[in-house]
Amino acid sequence: MKMIGALLGLLMLPGCINIDTHLQPINQTVKAVLIGTDCTPIVFGFGAGTNRVEKAMVNKPLRLDDRFGPGSAVSITRIRSIAHERFRNASISRCCQRS
């Protein structure tokens, strides 16, 4: 029983983080309708890749309203903001470029 408690304690030590860093001022003239992301997974501290804004603009953007029906072809043409997102939970994390 002590061993299980020690293992659970070890797993909880890393904690979790969720940090967003905006890389440019928000362009207020562009309405926030879609969010595009390009992510690189990181497992046990190992991960490799390049996150690009261009890929974030075309990778199946997340809709923020219901104006678009399911399956409609929507792409991002103007950028409101660019952010770097870092998420970590225990040993699994991801690093994303968001526009």
pTM: 0.61
Count other C-beta atoms under 10 Å from residue 72's C-beta.
8
Can you give the pLDDT at residue 85? 82
Can you give the pLDDT at residue 80? 83
Can you give the pLDDT at residue 5? 75
Can you give the pLDDT at residue 7? 72
Can you give the pLDDT at residue 10? 65
Residue length, the chain? Answer: 99
User: According to DSSP H, which parts of the chain are helical?
Assistant: 2-12, 53-58
Where the chain has pLDDT below 70, the residues are 8-15, 64-74, 90, 99
